[in-house]
């Protein structure tokens, strides 16, 4: 469909172009991830290239399966800002997001190095334990990084009877800051 010089898309067309289900397009509008969509006199939605651009931003930011917690919140903020057509702010948030991702990447590299080291050393036997916040502070990582390491099986953290995790040398062999 084309009105004037600009192409307009039906819901099914923009969904196909963005590689999503048509319901996803409607939900993204409802959640403010794309600009409000004008309707024809018959009530049908008509999407523009701007909506397609916003859909692509959302799909790129949400396609990564490891996007969780604070990283997902930062991605959602970019998408919502784009949906409000505040593109300079969305660009600023994107730069902050990339900086955060680079930091998380460095933490992931440290985790991988620690795992490799753990595989070649004996497990420490010290009994000192720490809360998640204390452990994250000592290791210089975020609490979210510790959660991700646990979710991905890099570390196994026992729990107390009340469900709280206890971090210590036995859980983090090779972590020299824990005495390993």
CB atoms within 10 A of CB 54: 25
Distance CA 52, CA 54 (A): 5
pTM confidence score: 0.61
Which residues make beta-bridge pairs with 165? Answer: 159
CATH of the domain at 173: 1.10.1660.10
Residue 80 lies in a domain: no
How many domains does the chain divide into?
A: 2
- The last residue of one of the domains, among 41, 63, 85, is 63
CB 135 within 8 A of CB 146: yes
Q: What are phi and psi of 163, to 5 degrees?
A: 95, -10
Does the pLDDT at position 175 exceed 60?
no
Share of the chain residues as helix, strand and coil, in percent rounded to the nearest 5: 55, 10, 35
In a domain, 97, yes or no: no
Both structure tokens of 32: 């403010």
pLDDT at 5 over 60: no
- pLDDT tens across 38-61, in order? 999 999 999 999 999 999 999 988
Q: Is pLDDT of 180 > 50?
A: no
Burial label for 149, CB within 10 Å (0-12, 13-18, 19+), is buried
Report if residue 48 sits inside a domain.
yes
Q: Is residue 69 part of a domain?
A: no
Burial class (CB in 10 A: 0-12, 13-18, 19+), 132: middle
For the segment 95-107, what is each residue's pLDDT rounded down to a tens digit? 999 888 888 788 7
Q: Residue 80: what pLDDT? A: 95
Please check the confidence at residue 176 and state whether its pLDDT lies above 50. Answer: no
Question: Would you give the DSSP letter of residue 38?
Answer: P
| CA end-to-end span of the chain | 65
Residue where the block lists tokens 């006199």: 41
Expressed as residue numbers, the domain containing 143 is 113-178
CA 80 to chain centre: 14
Measured CA to CA, the distance from residue 69 to residue 82 in angstroms comes to: 20
Q: What are the backbone dihedrals phi and psi of residue 129, each rounded to the nearest 5 degrees, phi first?
A: -125, 160
Give the strand pairing for 2-3 and 129-130.
unpaired
């Amino acid at each position: 469909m084309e009105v004037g010089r600009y192409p307009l898309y039906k819901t099914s067309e923009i969904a196909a172009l963005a590689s999503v289900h048509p319901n996803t397009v409607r939900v993204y509008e409802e959640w403010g991830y794309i600009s409000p969509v004008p309707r024809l006199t018959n009530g049908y939605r008509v999407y523009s290239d701007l909506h397609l651009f916003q859909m692509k931003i959302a799909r790129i930011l949400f396609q990564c399966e490891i996007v969780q917690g604070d990283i997902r919140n930062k991605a959602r903020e970019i998408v919502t800002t784009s949906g409000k057509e505040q593109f300079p702010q969305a660009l600023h948030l994107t730069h902050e997001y990339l900086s955060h991702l680079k930091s998380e990447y460095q933490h992931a590299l440290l985790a991988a190095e620690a795992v490799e080291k753990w595989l070649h050393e004996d497990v420490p036997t010290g009994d000192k334990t720490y809360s998640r916040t204390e452990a994250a502070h000592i290791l210089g990582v975020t609490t979210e990084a510790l959660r991700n390491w646990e979710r991905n099986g890099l570390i196994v953290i026992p729990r107390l009877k009340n469900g709280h995790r206890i971090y210590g040398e036995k859980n983090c062999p090779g972590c020299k800051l824990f005495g390993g």
